[in-house]
Amino acid sequence: MKRFLSSLLMLGLVLNLTGCMRDMQDQPKYKNLRGSDFFADGKSARDQEEGTIAQSQLRQDPHFFEGKVDGVDAVTFPMKVDRPLLERGRERYDIFCAACHGRTGEGNGMVVQRGFPTPPSYHIDRLKDAPAGYFYNVITNGFGRMYGYASEIEPRDRWAIVAYVRALQQSQNVDIKELTAKEREALDRPAVSEEAAHVPAHH
Ligand code: HEC
């Protein structure tokens, strides 16, 4: 009797399990972007309710997300500026900005040489004096004829680019007295090797 009961139990379990798997295979759910005739607007995905915040959308830190401290452009960075950040910034800058602003920020990138409006050089006094948060906002929202990059560049990378732009600005304004003898010597060497310079140009 005991045996009979336990095999009944087993049978029940097995039936239950297969039933369960069937349910999971045929569950009433919507695939991404599939339409629905249940909702009046025909969309299966519901719009976000006004006043609600979805996971990962909580943006509580205005310094980090908006480049503002007490409502004005931040003069400081919301993270430590170190070598990895600068290297990330250089990489992102070369991808997203150099085509117009040039690799050194003069404003003479390839797209500009092909006819796009010329941006101002980063090395003019007004932009050297502009706070870090100002650059962050230009990247986020665009400026005049320049588009914003909010959808392409995430906040941390925008700050990395700002840090790199700051490094570019400094690189063009170094007092020669600050350089070591070795660094000065390197400045006197031609940028291209003698040999390369003597290869006749093809026109
Ligand atoms: C497609 C070309 C293009 C790209 C790419 C581009 N910019 Fe610009 N940028 C411009 C132009 C043109 C202006 C000048 C706009 C104007 O004055 O109407 C400008 C202006 C600026 C200014 C100066 C704003 C001021 O106060 O004068 C900054 C700072 C700047 N860009 C930063 C960036 C950064 C950082 C990136 C990369 C994330 C970037 N730009 C990508 C074309 C570009």
- Superfamily for 81-173? Cytochrome c-like domain (1.10.760.10)
Q: What is the pLDDT along the chain (203 residues), one digit of tens a residue?
A: 667 767 766 666 665 656 556 677 778 788 888 888 888 999 988 888 888 888 777 888 999 999 999 999 999 999 999 999 999 999 999 999 999 999 999 999 999 999 999 999 999 999 999 999 999 999 999 999 999 999 999 999 999 999 999 999 999 888 888 888 888 888 888 776 655 556 565 55
Q: What is the pLDDT of residue 141?
A: 97
Is residue 149 within 6 Å of ligand 1 at its C-beta? Answer: yes
Q: What is the pLDDT of residue 137?
A: 98
Task: Name residue 72's beta-bridge partners.
Answer: 69
Residue with the nearest Cα to atom 8 of ligand 1?
A: 146
- Are the beta carbons of 77 and 132 closer than 8 angstroms? yes
Q: Is the dihedral of CA 121, 122, 128, 134 positive or negative?
A: positive
Q: What is the 3-state secondary structure (H, E, C) of 113-153?
A: HCCCCCCCCCCCHHHHHCCHHHHHHHHHHCECCECCCCCCC
Distance 97 CA to ligand 1 centre (A): 8
pTM: 0.74
Measure CA 17 to chain center: 47
Q: Which helix (H) or strand (E) holds 72?
A: strand 72-73
